[in-house]
Amino acid sequence: MFKRSSKWDVKAVILVALIGIIMGVVYTYGFNNLYNLSKLALLPTGYAPVMDMIFSGLWFMAAPLAMYFVPTAGSGTIGEVLASIVEMTIGGQWGALTVLEGLIQGAANEIGFFPKKKRYINFSWASVLTGAFFANLGAYIPQYFLYDWYKYSFNLQVAMFIAGIVSALLFDGVLVKLITNLFDRILKPELA
């Protein structure tokens, strides 16, 4: 029987590390390549920056997955930071900035769960979707200034912001919750 442990023990550390490693590889060799091809296709339209936000929710997924398997404060942040370190180390295109973004995204994702341990344990739709919303907001604000998005037209900025919210809710929220529901059905985890 699989047990979701809300205590930091060796098993929990290994599980969060594995999630970070797997998601870092998926980010680098899966999502980044799809993103680059899609953004290239949109270059002639002038809306290529929207692609930054359409894919953003995919890069937030390590945090809620880590919080599902290790339902305790900090697991999402650690899972996302480890994923970003792996992504950077194996050739992610954003370099060391990836780690800062991973830290912000992971911590912001935990807003949907923190400070109540019960929220981590229950892993409800409300917590997951709230975490996804704040992960998007946490990612959007620094990128807005780092990448000079404020220089874009107002319409493009609005399109990017809306695309980011939809992406986060869809991928980091709904998709992750559906995946964890499958784990619940298949593994029937107990809480340790």
**Model confidence over 71-98: pLDDT tens digits?**
999 999 999 999 999 999 999 899 999 9
Q: What is the mean pLDDT of residues 48-60?
A: 93
Rounded distance between C-alpha atoms, residue 85 and residue 158, angstroms = 31
Mean pLDDT of the chain: 95
- The one-character DSSP state at 6 is -
- CB-based contacts of 183, cutoff 8 Å, min separation 6: 68, 189
Rounded distance between C-alpha atoms, residue 102 and residue 128, angstroms = 17
DSSP state letters, 112-176 = GTTT-HHHHHH--HHHHHHHHHHHHHHHHHHHHHHTTGGGS-HHHHHHHHHHHHHHIIIIIIIIH
| Residue 190 pLDDT grade (very low, low, confident, very high; cuts 50, 70, 90) | confident
Res 64: pLDDT: 98
> Does the pLDDT value for residue 28 go beyond 80?
yes
Rounded distance between C-alpha atoms, residue 54 and residue 41, angstroms = 14
| Residue 189 pLDDT grade (very low, low, confident, very high; cuts 50, 70, 90) | confident
- CB-based contacts of 112, cutoff 8 Å, min separation 6: 119, 126, 127, 128, 129, 130, 131, 132, 133, 134
> Does the pLDDT value for residue 1 go beyond 70?
no
Question: CA angle, corner 180, sides to 117 and 185, nearest 5?
Answer: 110
pTM of the model: 0.95
> Does the pLDDT value for residue 164 go beyond 90?
yes
- CB-based contacts of 82, cutoff 8 Å, min separation 6: 16, 17, 19, 20, 21, 24, 62
